[in-house]
Amino acid sequence: MAKSKLVKANEKIAEKVVGGYRKIEQRAVGGYKKIEQEAVGGFNKMADKFVDNYLTKEGESVEEARERLATEQRAREKKGKKQQVIVEENMRSTQNATAEVRRKAGLKS
């Protein structure tokens, strides 16, 4: 009988401790989320204003300008990758030619 009272008391204490911890956790996480949303929202407003003032073309909306800019960026990245492949191929070619010349000249590579 005494054990069951202790067990029940311990369970009640554990429930209250866990409940208190959950409330603190929810408040902390909720506060963080609110700060994060405000910061991201403020940044997006500034970014939209910048795009509107400096990057939009005549009659173009901010969304259209962002889409156009993203498309242009993807095209630049794709072109950059192609150029990088060409540079790497040229480097290998040059290294192979240099090694061949050194081999013919009897020099160590």
**In this predicted model, what pLDDT tens digit does every residue of 52-104 receive, in sequence order?**
999 999 999 999 999 999 999 999 999 999 999 999 999 999 999 999 898 88
At residue 38, the pLDDT reads 96
Q: Give residue 35's domain range.
A: 2-55
21 in any annotated domain: yes
83 in any annotated domain: no
At residue 1, the pLDDT reads 55
Only one residue has tokens 């192979």, namely 96
103: Cβ–Cβ under 8 A, 6 or more apart, which residues? 109
105 in any annotated domain: no
86 in any annotated domain: no
Phi-psi region of 106 (alpha: psi -120 to 50; beta: other; left: phi over 0): left
- Tell me the C-alpha to C-alpha distance, in Å, between residue 43 and each of 10, 29, 33: 49, 21, 15
109 in any annotated domain: no
47 in any annotated domain: yes
Please give the average per-residue pLDDT across 12-19, as a whole number.
92
Number of domains in the chain: 1
Confidence band of 3 (pLDDT split at 50, 70, 90): confident
Model confidence, pTM: 0.52
Q: Evaluate the CA torsion angle 92, 98, 102, 103 in order and state its sign.
A: positive
